A and B are shown apart, each in its own frame.
Chain A
Amino acid sequence: MAERGGRGAHGRLDKSITLPPHEIFRNLENAKRFAIGGSLTKLAYYSTVQHKVARVRSFDHSGKDLEHEPLYEISVQEEITARLHFIKFENTYIETCLDFIKDHLVNTETKVIKATGGGAYKFKDLIEKKLGLKVDKEDVMTCLIKGCNFVLKNIPHEVFAYQKDSDTEFRFQTNHPNIFPYLLVNIGSGVSIVKVETEDQFEWIGGSSIGGGTFWGLGALLTKTKKFDELLQLASKGQHTNVDMLVKDVYGGAYQTLGLSGNLIASSFGKSTTADKEFSKEDMAKSLLHMISNDIGQLACLYAKLHNLDKIYFGGFFIRGHPVTMRTITYSINFFSKGEVQALFLRHEGYLGAIGAFLKGAEQDNPNQYSWGENYAGSSGLMSTSPDVFPMQRCRSGTFDMLEMDRLERPLVNLPLLKDPSTYIPDTVDLTDDAMARKYWLTCFEEALDGVAKRAAASQPDSVDAPERAEKFRQKYWNKLQTLRQQPFAYGTLTVRSLLDTREHCLNEFNFPDPYSKVKQKENGIALKCFQSVIESLDSLGWEERQFALVKGLLAGNVFDWGAKAVSDVLESEPQFGFEEAKSKLQERPWLEDSYSQWLKRLKEGPPHKCALIFADNSGIDIILGVFPFVRELLSRGTEVILACNSGPALNDVTYSESLIVTERIAAMDPVIQSALREEKLMLVQTGSSSPCLDLSRLDKGLAVLVRERETDLVIIEGMGRAIHTNYYAALKCESLKLAVIKNSWLADRLGGKIFSVIFKYEVPCK
């Protein structure tokens, strides 16, 4: 393991550090295809991952005792999915790593390894000798752009702006549906400025010889400091005003007629025009840093202006994770563009070349056809390399770094009903920004962790190693939470959603694909038994009363949510906590957010909706006694219904395959549902997600197609994860209903209510 303090006060890397190859070269046994590149070694491979998934399957119920049999069968199966691994380590470790790869690379059919960048040339012979693979060199810039397009398209929160002196150093951007055209300014030893217009079309439009090599080379001459990192350290401590001639040195103040501030640099190194004065290393390094950053920023702005581009991404070793250079480049772009252009950086900038080289070699697997998701459990995340921040992390990040991307089964697209996909932000609270909220939620997830681990272990009573795996899960997620406490920006904007997703990824990592499967099974069984009586009592009500009862049912169903700690406490101690009791817990109207009257008026006076899209939340009472009666009412009004459930398990959320069985069972009891299914007026689809939250910009393509085909004009989003943590402010092109019960007292407090407060938000888009 990397030792604490390996990179000491003098920034020297302790050579005794060894890499933990088992930890970083995951899944090498199944690696299919390789690429390597860069000055740090970046290695990319594509492997298949076997992991356990929970499957549900309907029993053949003919002639069986329905009373005592479970509703359906749960089995755990092995599933094979594709994963992209990207690893970054210092060249010092290349031999060790190659040996490890050789020993573990058993299943590959590959005979070639795609390589790019300086390291590839340097280590060609070594790689060929050790691995017996032919090294196939690829053009650096082509790889860089290919990699850049890939991350821009596939990794949410890939792009960030750097803000100095702000609580949030990194401000992440939402992924724009159209990434082209953009300018990529790669600051390696020199500077390349490339305009990227489409997936395969890019043009080198210019460059500059004053780049990272100038900083390093000239810096080494001036300060006798050999290492790039040390030069940056020096620079961050220096005062450039001792070396540079400022406008005020020439003018005595500002140059007012031109509006040039007195603190602007008039002439870099303009004060060192004397042989008999000594200048400090720090001051010279700082002056050099400003000189180079300003120059690059100025040229980038001139090129952006000439080609009419407003997105400039910066990369290359000069930038790579160095707040010092990100800060000076950001300043320069802001100054020279007069604030019109923003300097943007990429979270996985260091991997672009390797990703691109890999993609070039993998064209037959068509990686661009699929959607990919970052595996938070296996990725090490963005490290702040501020000299003073978290020395342990810094030392580790200097040694190795990982990114894993899972290939998703189905392509993901925007919900066609989003009002403006380019400004849509799923998450309601940005925890990178909101320190108080961050503190609360991190603590909340920490406190819930033991329970989650216990439940995970308990979910596999027949497995001998379940407790051990559960403990490993606990440890891994705990470490992630600690990392996030120090570096909230590690995986993009920190949100409740990302915390929940990370937990799911960690559970999967240790083969707990669905810890709630049995709970869900049991609850679905119980709820189904109550379905008919609930329908009967609803049918006995008058129209207006019924509408209110339906909404109350939907809300009450939503109280059953194992994701919230307050509820899991109640449910653990009182398993019989029933539907009626839940209703009685609900807040009386007026609710915390209450547009029920408008909704009722709409139902009463407006024409029936053409088609409603419902995002379901929990299994059991929620879906069966809350959602289905509501669906049934919509169908009776002549509204078609698309019921969307998660593709994969998350907490006790109902999955698509569970929803199929549940619906089949309900249809057997209820002619309305049955005929709607038959006539395709009720359609079940999957969301493409395995998250307890909902990102409307990454939804299953099939869902999107159906939504468009059926001219969906109403979207119903239910539950805290989908309607409050995310999408609370989401603007849609059609009518929408967001409802949830707040089962977290802190959140309720934030929104100005109490626990079990009700959110009922009916929105009509303004014309």
Chain B
Amino acid sequence: VFPWFGLDIGGTLVKLVYFEPKDITAEEEEEEVENLKSIRKYLTSNIAYGSAGIRDVHLELKELTLCARKGNLHFIRFPTHDMPAFIHMGSEKHFSSLHTTLCATGGGAHKFEQDFRTMGDLQLCKLDELDCLIKGVLYIDSVGFNGHSECYYFENPTDAERCQKLPFNLENPYPLLLVNIGSGVSILAVYSKDNYKRVTGTSLGGGTFFGLCCLLTGCSTFEEALEMASHGDSTKVDKLVRDIYGGDYERFGLPGWAVASSFGNMMSKEKRESVSKEDLARATLVTITNNIGSIARMCALNENINRVVFVGNFLRINTISMRLLAYALDYWSKGQLKALFLEHEGYFGAVGALLELLDSA
């Protein structure tokens, strides 16, 4: 029974995947209730919804076969603080009359369950977010990205000139370290399709980058923060090894360019006064990214895994962080660890939720 939705309600963003059937028969068309049709039209004919809802058109998976149906998979996101409006809209459009199950994952599935029930007359099917995440990753990787590879890596990450993005074949993915960078970070060791464990997590994630940027620069969107970061110079803010030792710290094999103290230069009043907002945004990005890289690397070593897949919306339009992660993992592991990335960054939980819906049907 349509509609097919998968919902992932995170701390900052709600991710919604919607399967638009393209093989609807005339008979089906006939029977399709009005509000179902209007939902389909609304979602597929727009690329923006309300003030902050966005459809990532470039991620759309075309002519996908799901449960013997052909169609397109759409990827939509909106801020979690718009959840009440979303539920309200669902109730206005009489979503409940469709008698469909709404599969949802992420913390918000728990937090908003009550609201869905009382305001939208909807019973959520709550799903574990890590189960959904892994399911989504494995599925999307297997179907590919419209004929291209979903998974990629950066070759020569240590060389700015020669660094390039290349496809990676994730056919035999196990064991795998999966690092999901949303508002916070979860790190999973995946040994098979249904054997995984959460190794650890850190609260220094995308939310921290964005939150600190808002406080330090007065920016108001993630895009704005990233844009600023792209024009900044973090070495004005951070204290590097060479700032302390004049060059490399040979006793410990530390290169002079390595950051010795994030924001370390900001201990000095003069330097605080001379840095730009862009520099601060860049330093925040570098600090958070390097830290995630460092924790991921330690987890990979402890779990004896050498492939690390980074996902999550922190990486959306964030090439700086991806290249930094690729570089850091490669450099500090002396080439032993490989950083991998996936095109659908933050949508795997929602995809997993959709798949659960179809499995249960």
Chain B 317-340 residues near chain A, CB threshold 8 A: none
In the complex, the answer to whether B263 meets A218 with C-beta atoms within 8 Å is yes
Interface segment, one of A246-254, A546-554, A559-567, A588-596: A246-254
Complex Cα–Cα for A344 and B264 (A): 26
How many residues of B sit at the interface, in one of the four size bands? 35 or more
Cβ distance B233 to chain A, nearest Cβ, rounded Å: 16
Bound-complex Cα distance A275 to B113 (A)? 29
B301: chain A residues at CB < 8 Å are 306
Quick one: closest A residue to B271, CB to CB? A217
Q: What residues of chain B lie closer than 8 Å to A268, measured between beta carbons?
A: 203-205, 207-208, 211
Contacts of A298 in B (CB 8 A): 200, 202, 295
Chain A residues positioned under 8 Å from B262 (CB to CB): 190, 209-211, 213-214, 217-218
Of listed A139, A252, A294, residue having the most chain B CB within 10 A: A252
Given A189-B260, A213-B239: A269 and B207 interface contact (C-beta under 8 Å): yes
Contact status B298-A303, CB under 8 Å: yes
The interface stretch among B24-32, B93-101, B216-224 is: B216-224
Residues in B with CB closer than 8 Å to A247 are 107
Interface string of A294-308 (1 = CB under 8 A from B): 110011001101100
Q: When the two chains form their complex, are residues A218 and B220 in contact, meaning their CB atoms are under 8 A apart? A: no
* Shortest CB distance B132–A (Å): 12
B10 on the A face (CB < 8 A): yes
A265 on the B face (CB < 8 A) = yes
Which residues of A sit under 8 angstroms from B198, Cβ to Cβ?
258
CA distance A244 to B12 in the complex (A): 12
A255 at the binding interface (Cβ < 8 Å): yes
- Judged by a CB distance under 8 angstroms, whether A178 is at the interface is no
B78 nearest CB across to chain A (Å) = 15
Segment with Cβ contacts to A, from B65-73, B135-143, B286-294: B286-294
Cα–Cα, bound, A336→B290 (Å): 20
B residues 94-124 with Cβ under 8 Å of A?
106-108, 110-113
- B260 and A249 within 8 A (CB): no
The answer to whether B200 and A266 touch across the interface, beta carbons within 8 angstroms, is: no
In the complex, B278 has a CB within 8 A of chain A: no
Interface bits A205-249 vs B (CB < 8 Å: 1, else 0): 011111111101110111000100000000000000001110101
CA distance A444 to B216 in the complex (A): 58
Chain B hits for A454, CB < 8 A? none
* B266:A295 contact, CB within 8 angstroms: no
**Which of B183, B216, B254, B264 makes the CB contact (< 8 A) with A222?**
B216
Given A255-B107, A267-B205, A210:B291 Cβ within 8 A: yes
B302: which of A208, A243, A295, A305 is its contact (CB, 8 Å)?
A305
Q: State whether the Cβ of B173 lies closer than 8 Å to any Cβ in chain A.
A: no
Contact with A along B241-259 (1 / 0, CB 8 A): 0000000000111100011
- B111, B214, B266: the one within 8 Å of A220 (CB): B266
B353 at the interface (CB under 8 A from A): no
Closest partner residue, chain A, to B266 (CB atom): A217
Quick check: A295 and B200 within 8 Å, CB to CB? Answer: no
Shortest distance from the beta carbon of B15 to any chain A beta carbon, whole Å: 14
Q: Are B207 and A291 in contact (CB under 8 A)?
A: no
Closest partner residue, chain A, to B209 (CB atom): A269
Q: CB distance B267 to A220 under 8 Å?
A: yes
Please indicate which of the listed interface residues B214, B253, B272, B287 has the most CB atoms of chain A within 10 Å of its own CB. B214
Distance between B209 CB and nearest chain A CB, rounded to angstroms: 9
A250 to B203, CA, bound (A): 13
Alpha-carbon gap, A221 to B294, bound state (A): 25
Near B by CB (< 8 A), chain A positions 520-571 give none
Tell me which residues across on chain A come within 8 A of B130, comparing CB atoms. Answer: 258
Closest residue on chain B to residue A203 by CB atoms: B252
Contacts of A305 in B (CB 8 A): 302
**Does B212 lie within 8 Å of A272, measured CB to CB?**
yes
| Known contacts A217-B266, A226-B269, A267-B207; A141/B252 CB under 8 A | yes
Q: Is the CB of A250 within 8 A of B11?
A: yes
Residue of B nearest to A284 (CB): B215
**Is A270 an interface position by the 8 A CB rule?**
yes
Report B138-190 residues with CB < 8 Å from chain A CB.
182-184
Q: Which has the most chain A C-beta neighbours within 10 Å: B111, B203, B238?
A: B203
B91 beta carbon closer than 8 Å to chain A:
no
Q: Is the C-beta of A370 less than 8 angstroms from some C-beta in chain B?
A: no
Inter-chain contact A209/B208, CB cutoff 8 Å: no
Q: Is A59 an interface residue (CB 8 A)?
A: no
A576 within 8 A of partner (CB): no
Q: Which residues of A have CB within 8 Å of B212?
A: 218, 269, 272
- Residues of chain A touching chain B, judged by Cβ–Cβ distance below 8 Å, are 139, 141-142, 188-190, 192, 204, 206-214, 216-218, 220-222, 226, 243-245, 247, 249-253, 255, 257-258, 264-276, 279, 284, 291, 294-295, 298-299, 302-303, 305-306, 336
Sample of 28 A–B contacts (CB below 8 Å): A207-B254, A208-B291, A209-B260, A210-B287, A210-B291, A212-B261, A213-B267, A214-B262, A217-B261, A217-B263, A217-B265, A217-B266, A217-B267, A221-B263, A247-B107, A250-B11, A267-B184, A269-B208, A270-B11, A270-B184, A271-B211, A273-B207, A276-B220, A291-B203, A294-B202, A295-B202, A298-B202, A299-B295
Beyond A217-B267, A250-B106, 11 additional contacts (C-beta under 8 Å) are: A206-B294, A213-B239, A217-B263, A217-B272, A255-B107, A258-B130, A269-B215, A284-B215, A302-B200, A306-B301, A306-B302
Interface residues of B (CB under 8 A from A): 10-12, 106-108, 110-113, 128, 130, 182-184, 198, 200, 202-208, 210-212, 214-216, 218-220, 237-239, 251-254, 258-267, 269, 272, 280, 287, 290-291, 294-295, 298-299, 301-302
